[in-house]
Chains A and B, each alone.
Chain A
Amino acid sequence: MTDQAQILPGTLDILILKAVSLGPLHGYGVLLRIGQISGQALLIEQGALYPALFRLVRQGLLKASWGTSENNRRAKFYELTAAGRKRLREQVEGWNRLATAMGSALAAQPEEV
């Protein structure tokens, strides 16, 4: 738990979109899923999650509906809209480009310059 990475600003939205893209989730579920898919490396502050969810709903990237959780508790479930799916694709591409660029930039050796 000690070497959890600080998430970069602006990455919360893409993580939420990714988490939800794997299947409808309630808020707490989103937290768990992000932890799970990042190998518990990324941890999100619980209070910061909800404003982000509301913002994504407002932008039309997520839609919400009330349902029942696995242990029979009423909860609000989020899923991707078509626009959300498109946005996720764009952001993943962007992120990959950035990561590759950062990776090769940081891997550069003195003799390659």
Chain B
Amino acid sequence: MKLLAYFRSMGEKFFRPSQLSQEMDEELRSHIALRAEDLERSGLDPEEAQRRARIEFGGEEKVKEECHQALGANLIETAIQDVRITLRVLRKSPGFALAAILTLALAIGANTVVFSIMNAFIIRPLNVPHAESLYGLWRLQDDMSESYPDYVDLRDRNHSFDALIAYNVNEVALDTGNNPSRSWIEEASGNFFDGLDVHPYLGRFFHTFDEHGPNSAPYVVLTYKYWHTHFHDDRGVIGQNVLVNKHPYTVIGVAPPGFHGTLLFFHPDFFVPIVNHDIDAGTQLNNRRSHWVFMTMGHLKAGVTPGEAVTDLNSIGQDLLRKYPKDEGKMTFKLVRPSMYGDYIGGPVREFVTGLMLLASLILLAACANLGSLFAARAADRSREVALRLALGSSRKRILRGVFTEAILIALVGGAVGLSGSILLLRQLSVWQPFPRFPGYLTVTPDANVYALALLLAIVSGLLFGAVPVRQVLQTNPYEVVKTGSSGRIGRRITALDVLLVLQIALCAVLVTSSLVAVRGLAHCLRSNFGFDLNTMLAETDPPMVGYSGDTVPALQKRMIDALKAIPGVESVGLSDALPLGEGSNYSNVFADTTTDLRPSNAAMNPVIFKVSPEYFQAAGTSLLSGRSFGWHDDKDSPRVAVVNGQFARRMFGSIQSALGSYFKMPDGTRTQVVGIAEDGKYDRLTESPKAAMYLPILQSPSASSWMVLRSQRDPQELGAAIRSTLRQVDPALPVYIQTRYNALDTVLFGPRMATLALGVLGMMGAILAVVGIFGMAAYSVSKRLRELGIRIALGGQRKEVLQAALSRAVKLLVLGSAAGLSLGILASRVLAFVVAQATPRDPLVIAGVVFAMAVMGLLATWIPARRALSVDPLRLLREE
């Protein structure tokens, strides 16, 4: 009842303000009329009675204002009024409004983007039930990979996990009817879906009871996305027969939308049971030495701590080492988060994102400082207006409310613009596939957290920069200002705003320096020596996908090499089972020739291993320092030979000379003779320190994985088409992926490129902010000293002197900030060197670039204030003030 009355009075006030005022007028008039009649009756003449009645009543407007207040809802009304006034005022200075909104949109946009990424990758757990208790197993001696027998032992003997599940990532050919296409899959253990507590969208999943030894479960579970894009949501797909690497499989189910395994950035096409791993001819399911299972993980049992689980696992490891001394090395574990492969991807991502977040918040802070000084400049320009309003009886509270309304309004609009921009950007990011050959996505969907943060940031920053001119308003003395004009004191002290400005110029200079260093480093490292030539073509094929195995593989490889060599313009063709700086290298233990006990702990080292065809070195552009390359005569029936790189030779044999002709042992005990020494190169990362590597002839160590390397002067496009048609003649079913060697570097260049891009973007933002900041500061000092400048001009001051008087402070701050930033940036670049190879700040081009950039920014920022200072018309100024 009461509430109803309250809302009715609010509602009337809100929706029918004019009617309410009319009624109020009428009521008061009738009151005065009634009073006047009474007075008339007591003997006064009508006119006098009217007059007396009015005087008795007092100030009608004041009463009405009080009545309005008594009706409540005043807050909203004055707020609306404030907003209306603010809009009118802002419309008069669109430049100011635009600059303020853009600055804030940039800063808030940057924060929302970075926070969304942080939210998606770090804060929000995996999209499976109880993700918080899901841990992956990491071997301290190695990484997360296991052999299948080890996994089975760990699974069956541990007491810590509800279900220990495992999966492997693989690439296969899927044929749904004469159209073999490459697909990325996860080979999952039978307890995979049950262990994760995921339920099928359609059909069924495979379970532990489906596993009856190797190749016993030819089932396919599609991911929702693959089903949607490749099977067009056809529900009849359940029960359909397909070929996976030429083996018959049956589609039994579709996973729910949004479930794509437990690896955050990886979206496989479908799942198959891990017991069917033998379809990949390279490794065998039950080989204890071959650590091909990509990851094992599980939910910890209720009440079991990670520490207890590790103890449990380690004791199993010890036991396995005792039982299988020939196959096992030391086995100790730690538990990690599986979504980003523990710290391997998670570590850098966390550091990178945290760093970005820090920078983004600094940018927001800088933006607030800038807007604060813009607002201060504006308040100074408007000090006359403020003084007049104060003199006419407006309360300081009301004026301050106006200032804050303006600030919050700008902040909200800026926040909205920034948020929409960042949503657009994130949508692009989510569909972006950074590596064309690999289904990796950076799926970031802004959620309620993100919107709330954007709103909060907008309001907080509005309050922050709105607070800057408060003191100015509070200290305005209306009489002084109206009497003498606004010149007042000229700030000579070093204010907090000055310090902030120097800080942000420094920050901007750091960012500009770092991004220039990163760009130069990237360019430089692309010209450096990788140990192979970048101007080659690559053709990747995977013979097991179309049913080749055993002896048919080398025969096919030889046919492909011969066919490709026959293409006109092709100088040489090589084949390797893996690419340096490709998608991951293979490693193998090697032993000194004298070692007899070949357990892993006795290994001499663990070099990168490539299995290559005779002409590989020539085709890839890897030069031999001494000795010979392989020939087709280095086959199964001839003595085992190897080519090793300089690093291998020096570490195993002491020197390149002594290495040539010496022997070492492979894990299976084969004595292998070094017949050639190849140059060192980069194998996994651009920033790695020199690694040992060895090359084995493919005929002696067969591998089905086949990367063809072609050396030719022909146009890549044309050559690509020729390669495709040639290989189709060799086997029409063979899926082929063709790219230039340079493009294949995308994977290893991803990190450095991203870092460079991010630094570049942040540098740009920093630059824009610094420009706005210097602009605000210069504009403020010019407008405060207009009178002084006018007098100087009137007295015949030179343009140079006027400019100096007007802008010297801004320029000094700029120089100070840039110098600090440049030196900080040079220090920061040491950190950069970890991401971008050969990032060195002691590069004259970088330093020149930074100085140039800062100078251009200074020029940009002071241009308008300088013009204003020079165009002061002393006559007009003196007349007005």
Contact = CB atoms under 8 A, between A and B. Distances in A.
A23 interface: no
A74 B63 contact: no
The 5 closest A-B pairs by CB, nearest first: A60-B5, A60-B2, A51-B66, A47-B58, A54-B70
B67 interface: yes
A55 B37 contact: no
Given A57-B5, A58-B9, A71-B37, A46 B57 contact: yes
Interface in B9-30: 9, 23, 26-28, 30
Given A46-B57, A50-B67, A59 B5 contact: yes
Contacts of B30: 26-28, 69, 73-76
B2 A51 contact: no
A83 interface: yes
Contacts of B3: 60
A99 interface: no
Interface string A77-113: 0000111000000000000000000000000000000
B672 to A, nearest CB: 97
B37 A74 contact: no
B28 A50 contact: yes
Contacts of B500: none
Contacts of A71: 34, 37
A52 interface: yes
- Among B3, B56, B66, B69, chain A packs the most CB atoms within 10 A around the CB of B66
Chain A interface, DSSP helix/strand/loop, else mixed: helix
Interface residues of A, number: 24
22 contacts: A45-B58, A47-B59, A47-B62, A47-B63, A50-B63, A50-B67, A51-B63, A51-B66, A52-B70, A54-B67, A54-B71, A55-B71, A58-B5, A58-B9, A58-B72, A59-B6, A60-B2, A60-B4, A69-B34, A73-B30, A73-B34, A76-B27
A100 to B, nearest CB: 30
B1 interface: yes
A26 B4 CA distance: 23
A43 B13 CA distance: 31
A54 B31 CA distance: 15
A76 B2 contact: no
Given A28-B34, A60-B6, A73-B34, A50 B27 contact: yes
Contacts of A73: 30, 33-34
B350 interface: no
Contacts of A57: 5, 9, 71
Interface string A55-75: 101111000000001010111
Given A51-B70, A57-B5, A71-B34, 16 more contacts: A26-B30, A27-B31, A28-B30, A28-B34, A46-B31, A47-B62, A50-B31, A51-B66, A51-B69, A55-B71, A60-B6, A73-B30, A74-B26, A75-B30, A75-B34, A83-B2
Contacts of A26: 30-31, 34
A76 to B, nearest CB: 5
A63 to B, nearest CB: 8
Interface in A8-33: 26-28
Contacts of A54: 9, 67, 70-71
A19 B833 CA distance: 87
B35 interface: yes
Contact of B27 (A60, A75, A83): A75
- Among B6, B23, B27, B56, chain A packs the most CB atoms within 10 A around the CB of B27
A1 B359 CA distance: 76
Nearest to A52: B70
A54 B69 CA distance: 9
Nearest to B26: A74
Nearest to B6: A58
A13 B58 CA distance: 20
A49 to B, nearest CB: 8
- Among A28, A45, A73, A81, chain B packs the most CB atoms within 10 A around the CB of A28
Interface in B297-312: none
B2 to A, nearest CB: 4
Interface string B561-604: 00000000000000000000000000000000000000000000
A57 B7 CA distance: 11
A26 B62 CA distance: 20
Contacts of A83: 1-2
Contacts of A28: 30-31, 34-35
A52 B66 CA distance: 9
Contacts of A52: 70
Contacts of B71: 54-55, 57-58
A71 B56 CA distance: 21
A76 B23 contact: yes
- Among B1, B69, B70, chain A packs the most CB atoms within 10 A around the CB of B70
- Among B30, B33, B63, B71, chain A packs the most CB atoms within 10 A around the CB of B30
Interface string B41-79: 000000000000000111100110011011110000000
A9 to B, nearest CB: 16
Contacts of B28: 50
A71 B575 CA distance: 114
A51 B1 contact: no
Nearest to B59: A47
A75 B71 CA distance: 19
Contacts of B70: 51-52, 54-55, 58
A34 to B, nearest CB: 14
A112 to B, nearest CB: 45
A46 B26 contact: no
A50 B9 CA distance: 15
A12 to B, nearest CB: 12
A60 B1 contact: yes
Nearest to B68: A54
- Among A27, A46, A57, chain B packs the most CB atoms within 10 A around the CB of A46
A99 B586 CA distance: 99
Contacts of A46: 31, 35, 56-58
Contacts of B35: 28, 46
A39 B298 CA distance: 90
